[in-house]
With several copies, the nearest count.
Chain A
Amino acid sequence: MGDRSTAAPAGFDADRVCAAAAQMRRDIVTMLEKAGSGHPGGSLSATDIIATLYFGGVLRHDPSDPQMPGRDRFILSKGHAAPALYAALAQDGYFPREWLDTLRKLGSHLQGHPDMRKCPGVEVSTGSLGQGLAVGSGMALGMHRDWARGDSASPAGREPQVFVMMGDGELQEGEVWEAAMFAASRRLPNLVAIVDNNTLQIDGHLDDVVSLGDICAKFSAFGWFTIDLADGNDVVEANEALTRAVAYDAGPVAIVAHTIKGKGVSFMENQVGWHGKAPSAEQLAQALADIDAAAGVAERKGC
C-alpha cells in the first residue's frame, strides 16, 4: 500500500476515507439492528465507494445547502442500500445522527428506501431497481446543457457530474440498457455509472440466476467507456477510478467495481442470506467487533 499516497490525487486523504467508511459500517449494522429489517449485504459492499465519493473529495456538494446549484449528484439506484447512503449523509452533516435510530419506523425521515421528499441529500427517490440510470441520464443531459451554456457554476470549476450506483443484479432490468443506449447516443460527458459488482442477488449468485457475463464488455458494446475497478472495497483504487471517470469527457463512463457483499462483517461476507436481513443484538456485537478490528488493522497499516 506504499504507493497509495502518490497514486491518490491531491485532496484525497485515504486515512480519512477509511475511517469514514468504518464509521459508516458501524452505523449501517447498528441502524439495521435497531430497525429489525433491511439490507446489510449490498449496503456494506457499496460502503467504500460511497465513502470515497462523500469523504474523498470526489463529490462536489454542500451538506448545508443540499440544493446548491452546480453541485454533483449522487443517485443510489440500488435504493435498498439506503443505510449506506444515510450513514454517509449523517456523517457528512446532512441531518442529525439521531435520525439513524429511526430507520424504517413510522414517521421517520429515513424510509426503507430513500425518499427525496423526506431526507435531505437524497437527490431522487429510489427503491424500484433499474430506474436510476435513466433519471441520471436526464439529469446529466440537463446539467450538461446548462454548463455548456454557462448557466451553471460549479464549486470546483469542473463540469458538474452525475454518479449513479447500481447493483449487478439490477443490470438485469431492461431499463438500464435503454438508458445505456440513450446516454451513449448523447455522449453525455458528465455521467458516471458505478456497478457494485458483488456477484450476488437475492436468489443466489448471478451466474446461477441470470448471468451478466462480462459487464464491461456489455457497456462497451453499448457505447460506454469502461473502467474495471479490481477492488471496489479499496478506497484508493476507488478514488483513482472515480477520478479517471470524472476526467473522461468523450461520453459516459461505467465503472465496474468488484466488491464483496457484506464486506467488513465476517459472517456476512459473500453470504447471499445477508442480502435482506437485520442482525440480532449478538450478531451486531460481532459485526461491530469485526469492523473495529479491521479499522484498527487499517490504522496500523497506515490506511
Chain B
Amino acid sequence: MADTQTQSRPARATREAFGETLVELAEQGLPVVAVDADLAGSTTTKKLGAYDPELLVDVGIAEQDMVGVAAGLSLTGRIAFTGSFAVFGTGRCYDQIRNTVCYGRLNVKVCPTHAGLSVGPDGGSHQMLEDIALMSALPNMRVIVPADYESARSALRLAARVDGPVYVRMGRAKVPQVYDAGCELSLGGSCLLREGTDVTLLACGVEVDQALRACDELAREGVSAEVIDVYSVKPLDEAAILASALKTGRVVTCEEHMLAGGMGSVVASLLSERQPTPMRMVGMRDSFGTSGSFEELLSHFGMDAAAICEAARSLLA
C-alpha cells in the first residue's frame, strides 16, 4: 500500500521506471520488446537494449512506423511497448493506435514519457496535455496514469500482464514517492491515500503529490480531505468514487491535463449520471503550455497544491 510519509525518499521521475521494469520483465521470461523513435535514451528504453539489443527496436524519428512495427511484433507473440514523448507517441500516431492497435485489440502498450508540463523549458509544442483525452476516447484502450516511480513500475507490470492495448502515462519531472516498492495497481482500481470527510480530492499522475500537499494544508485549516489516487482513468473505479463522493458530498479532480476529455470530465460524467455532486476541476483550461520550469508551470497554470486548496475551499464556502 501507499506510504504517506512522502518526504522520506528521494524524488524520482515516473519515466525512470520504464527501462528498468522492461528489463525486469524480460528477466522473468516475458516476451517484451520496446519500439522507440529516436528517444530511447530519454524514455529509458535504452536500458532494455543494453540488456539485450534485440529487445529494443529504434525506428528513428517515425512515430507512425513505431506503432506499426510494434503492432507487427505483437502479432508474432511479443508484448510490444512503444516509447517516444507523449506528444508525439500519441498525437503523431493517433490513427495508427486507433485503427491498427485498438481496432485489432493488439497486445501493444503505448507508454510514452515526458507527458504534461514535465518537459518544462521545451515549451508548449512539447507539453502534451491532451493524451488522456485521446487515449480514453479509444475503444479497447485502458489508461493508467501513475503517480510516482514505484506505481509506474507496477503500472508497467500490469500492462504487460493484461492482454490488449494499454496506455501508461509517464513524465520527466521528479516527484516525491508516494508508493512503496511492490505496490500493486489493478485495472479499474484506485488507491485511498488519505481518509477524510469534508471533501474528496481525486488525483492522478503528478497531481497526486499536489493533492497530498493540499490535504495537509487543508488539515491545518480544519478541513478533512479524502485523497484518492485514481490512477486507472479507464476503466475508472466508479464504486470508490461514488462512495467517497457520497460520503463527503464534494469532489475536486486534480490532473496535469486539459480539462476537456481529461480524468475530471470522466468523473463529472459519472457523477452527473449517477449521483450529481458539486465539483471543482483542477487542470489546464484550454491553453497551450509555455516554457518554464515544471514547478513554475504547475503554479502558473493553477495546478499546484494551492490551486487545489482554493478549489476545495470554494466548494466548502
Q: Do chains A and B touch in the complex (CB under 8 A)?
A: yes
Return chain A residues, CB-CB under 8 Å to B300.
106
* Min C-beta distance of B286 to chain A, whole Å: 16
Cross-interface CB contact of A202 among B39, B64, B76, cutoff 8 Å: B39
Return chain A residues, CB-CB under 8 Å to B67.
134
Q: Mark B69-108, 1 if CB is under 8 A from A, else 0.
A: 1111111111010000001100010011011100111100
Residue of B nearest to A117 (CB): B105
- Contact at A138–B70, with CB atoms within 8 Å? yes
- Contact at B75–A139, with CB atoms within 8 Å? yes
- The count of residues in chain B whose C-beta lies closer than 8 Å to any C-beta of chain A is 57
B6 close to A (CB within 8 Å): no
For window 284-317 of B, CB contacts with A under 8 Å fall at 290-293, 296-297, 300
With A106-B297, A125-B103, A203-B41 as contacts: A141 and B61 at CB distance below 8 Å: no
Task: Please tell me which stretch of A14-22, A57-65, A165-173 contacts chain B, meaning at least 4 of its Cβ atoms lie within 8 angstroms of it.
Answer: A165-173
- Contact at B291–A175, with CB atoms within 8 Å? no
A169-B42 Cα distance, complex, nearest whole Å: 16
- Contact at A128–B72, with CB atoms within 8 Å? no
A35 close to B (CB within 8 Å): yes
A73-B99 Cα distance, complex, nearest whole Å: 19
Residue of B nearest to A110 (CB): B291
Total of A-B residue pairs, C-beta within 8 Å: 193
- Contact at A172–B76, with CB atoms within 8 Å? no
Return chain B residues, CB-CB under 8 Å to A115.
103, 123-125
For window 105-123 of A, CB contacts with B under 8 Å fall at 105-108, 110-113, 115-117, 123
* Min C-beta distance of B57 to chain A, whole Å: 7
Cross-interface CB contact of B125 among A125, A141, A145, A170, cutoff 8 Å: A125
A173-B61 Cα distance, complex, nearest whole Å: 6
With A106-B292, A112-B121, A182-B60 as contacts: A127 and B76 at CB distance below 8 Å: no
- Contact at B39–A111, with CB atoms within 8 Å? no
A130-B99 Cα distance, complex, nearest whole Å: 11
- Contact at A36–B76, with CB atoms within 8 Å? no
- Contact at A139–B72, with CB atoms within 8 Å? yes
Return chain A residues, CB-CB under 8 Å to B123.
104, 111-113, 115, 127
A115-B122 Cα distance, complex, nearest whole Å: 11
With A104-B291, A112-B291 as contacts: A123 and B75 at CB distance below 8 Å: yes
B68 close to A (CB within 8 Å): yes
Q: Mark B54-66, 1 if CB is under 8 A from A, else 0.
A: 1001111110110
A115-B127 Cα distance, complex, nearest whole Å: 14
Cross-interface CB contact of B73 among A128, A139, A178, A181, cutoff 8 Å: A139
Return chain B residues, CB-CB under 8 Å to A141.
57, 69, 72-73
* Min C-beta distance of A46 to chain B, whole Å: 17
A121-B104 Cα distance, complex, nearest whole Å: 13
- Contact at A35–B121, with CB atoms within 8 Å? yes
B202 close to A (CB within 8 Å): no
- Contact at B293–A106, with CB atoms within 8 Å? yes
- Contact at B121–A179, with CB atoms within 8 Å? no
Return chain A residues, CB-CB under 8 Å to B72.
124, 134-142
A54-B124 Cα distance, complex, nearest whole Å: 27
With A112-B291, A202-B39, A209-B60 as contacts: A134 and B68 at CB distance below 8 Å: yes
B169 close to A (CB within 8 Å): no
Return chain A residues, CB-CB under 8 Å to B62.
172-175, 178, 181-182, 210
- Contact at B104–A37, with CB atoms within 8 Å? no
The chain A residues found within 8 Å of chain B, CB to CB, are 35-38, 73, 79, 104-108, 110-113, 115-117, 123-131, 133-143, 145-146, 169-170, 172-175, 178-179, 181-182, 201-203, 206, 209-210
Question: Knowing that A140-B72, A145-B54, A182-B60 are A-B contacts, what are 17 other residue pairs whose CB atoms are under 8 Å apart, sorted by A's residue number?
Answer: A111-B123, A112-B122, A124-B72, A124-B100, A127-B99, A127-B125, A131-B95, A131-B96, A135-B72, A136-B72, A138-B76, A141-B73, A143-B76, A201-B38, A201-B60, A202-B41, A210-B58
